[in-house]
Every structure is written in C-alpha cells, then in structure tokens.
Amino acid sequence: MEFSAATLAGFLKGEVEGDPGIVVNTVAKIEEGHPGALSFLANPKYEHYIYSTKSSIVLVNRSFVPSSKVEATLIKVDNAYDAFASLMRLVDQARPRKKGIHSTAIIEPTAKIGTDAYIGAYAYIGENCIVGDNCSVYPHVYFGDNSRMGNNCTLNPGVKIYHDCELGEGVIIHAGTVIGSDGFGFAPQSENEFMKIPQLGNVVIEDHVEIGANVTIDRATMGSTIIHRGVKLDNLIQIAHNVEVGENTVMAAQTGISGSTKVGKNCMFGGQVGISGHIKIADGTKIGAQSGIPGDVKKENSILLGYPAFDHRDFLRCAVIFKKLPELKMKIETLEKRLESLKK
C-alpha cells in the first residue's frame, strides 16, 4: 500500500513541511531509512539521524525545530510515537485475513464456531468449546474441552489452552504459550515425598489482553487465576495458580509471579522481576528490572528497585555507596593500622 504525505497528514491531523505529494510504501527506523520509507522521531537522542536519514517522510512532534537542513518531508503531529503506532495499526489491519476451516483441523461435534472464523491446520477444538466471531486459531493450537473465547481473538501457532478456561474479546496469545496447566501444588509427606494436590480451578482472561510467546499461566487450585482487562504480558513470563493481575498492568520478559498474589491495576514490571506468593501489590506500582518483592506493597504508585526492593531514590543512593565500598574498605584498614600504631 502507498500513502502520500498529504494523506498521512490528513489521517493524523498533522502539518506537512516539504513535499505533500511524496509517497511511502514501507516503514523503517530513522537510522536505517531509505527512499519510500516512513520513519518517526520521538526521542531527542536520535535527532542527529534526521539530518542524514534517507527516509522520504519522518513524523516529528509539533515542537520539533531542526537545527540544520532536513531533506525528508516532515509531518508534524502532537505525539510522533503515538501517530506512528496508529499508522502501524492501520497497515496491520489492511493485511488480508485468513478465513475458513482447514481440512486437517479437528473440531468436536459439540463445539460451536462463530462466523468468519479461521481454524488452521492440525488445530484441535474440544468438546463444548465456543469460538467467537472473527477469531483466528492458527495451526497446532489446542483448545481444551469446555473452554470458550469471545469475538476477535487470535491464538497463534502452538498455543495450548487446557480445559474450562475462558477468554474475553480481542485476546491475542502468541506462539507456544500454555494457559491452564496445573499449578505447582504439592503437599509434603513423610520420607521427603510430595503428594500432588489436584488443581480444580481454571484461568480467566478478560477483554483485550495480549500475551507474549512461551508464557505459562497456571490454573487455580480452586476458583480462578484471573488476568484482568487490558493486561499486556511480554514473552517468557510465569503466572502461578490463583494469581490475579489488575487491569492495564504490563510486565516485561521473565517476570515470575508466585501463587495467590494479587497485583493491582496500572502496574509496570521490568524484566526478571520476582514476586513472592500470597502478597498484594498496590495499584500503580512500578518495579525495576531484576527486583524482588518478598512482601506486600501497600503504597500506591510506588517505584521500587533492588532485592528486597525498596524506594528507587534510596536504592540509587545506596548504589553510589556500593561503588565506593572498595575505597572505603581501604580507608578503614588504613585507619585501623594507624590506631593500632597509636595504641602501641
């Protein structure tokens, strides 16, 4: 698809500086720009690329004032990053969408498939399942008995959803993710043996949740593991049994949430965050990468770093001291020697 600068500016409610008739047919990073490509500049540290980029059109913030000549046509918008994301969504939605049921797919007679759904090769839809309208179920997906999904969901190749799980509308799950596997429930017995505790609950994923590749979300022992509306999970995340994740919370890769923990809404977790079980995380909490949370976070909108995690400002002060520990150790040893000399 091709778009002129004038067309893009009209869609984005922006202003053109340069050639309104110039056309683009692809997107590129500003540092890798080439003729016919659309790029954007949002972060000031990349500004130097705009003076050398070969991209035909660059989206910039309205406040941007170039310090030298720019060859590319500029489209000034309120927020260049948001505008670029809007265009990416437009292009994605324009792609042709697969429909129909592949001849190798297995759909149990009691399952119900909505209109305009796509069921790919070797997918399995179990007994009493419900697949909503306009859903896409890609090859090798397993959708277990009595599970259901709302309209406009996408299950990418190799997704496995165990029995009795529930997905809302507009849910996207990426390749290799497993939803509803047994929680880690074992009761210690004599002689160092463990008895498995049956996991009789399910997983509930609400509307407009997106889950990355190779994520595991365990079913509840009783009741439900719940991922609330608008949550976004990166790849390689573990959500344990009976966890509840609040609305619009986002988590980066390799985060792990232990069982029965309640995470508030609008939280943000960096990569490799670890959270203990049976605790509560207040709304709006932000946790830096590789931090560990062993107990409740009670104050809303806290920003935490470290293990055990504490206020980020105190953590940064401690980090400065930590860097100086070798120097401080040498000073202390020198003072101890002098003190010992004085005593003698």
Question: For residue 79, what are the CA distances in angstroms to 12, 43, 82, 248, 341?
Answer: 10, 11, 5, 21, 67
174 is catalytic: no
- Of 48, 102, 140, 241, which one is the catalytic site residue? 241
Give the integer Cα–Cα distance in Å for 72 and 78.
Answer: 19
Domains located in the chain, CATH noted? 3-94 (3.40.1390.10), 101-315 (2.160.10.10)
User: Per residue in 199-226, pLDDT tens?
Assistant: 999 999 999 999 999 999 999 999 999 9
Q: What mean pLDDT do residues 83-109 have?
A: 90
Residue 154 neighbours by CB under 8 Å, 6+ apart: 135, 136, 138, 171, 172, 173
260-296 residue pLDDT tens: 999 999 999 999 999 999 999 999 999 999 999 999 9
* 94, pLDDT greater than 80: no
Q: What is the pLDDT at residue 148?
A: 98
Average pLDDT estimate for 235-244:
98
Residue 118 has pLDDT above 90, yes or no: yes
**pLDDT (tens digit per residue) in 166-206:** 999 999 999 999 999 999 999 999 888 999 999 999 999 99
pLDDT for 1 beyond 80: no
Strand 3-4 versus strand 23-24 pairing type: antiparallel
Please report which helix (H) or strand (E) contains residue 341, including its range.
helix 325-343
User: Which contacts of 163-169 are long-range, i.e. CB under 8 A and separated by 24 or more positions?
Assistant: 163/126, 163/202, 164/202, 164/219, 165/202, 165/203, 165/204, 165/205, 165/219, 166/202, 166/203, 166/204, 166/205, 167/205, 168/205, 168/206, 168/207, 168/208, 168/209, 168/229, 169/132, 169/207, 169/208
Q: Band of the pLDDT at 25, cuts 50, 70, 90?
A: very high
Q: What is the pLDDT of residues 138-169, one digit of tens each?
A: 999 999 999 999 999 999 999 999 999 999 99
Length of the chain, please?
344
Tell me if 273 sits within 8 A of 297, measured CB to CB.
no
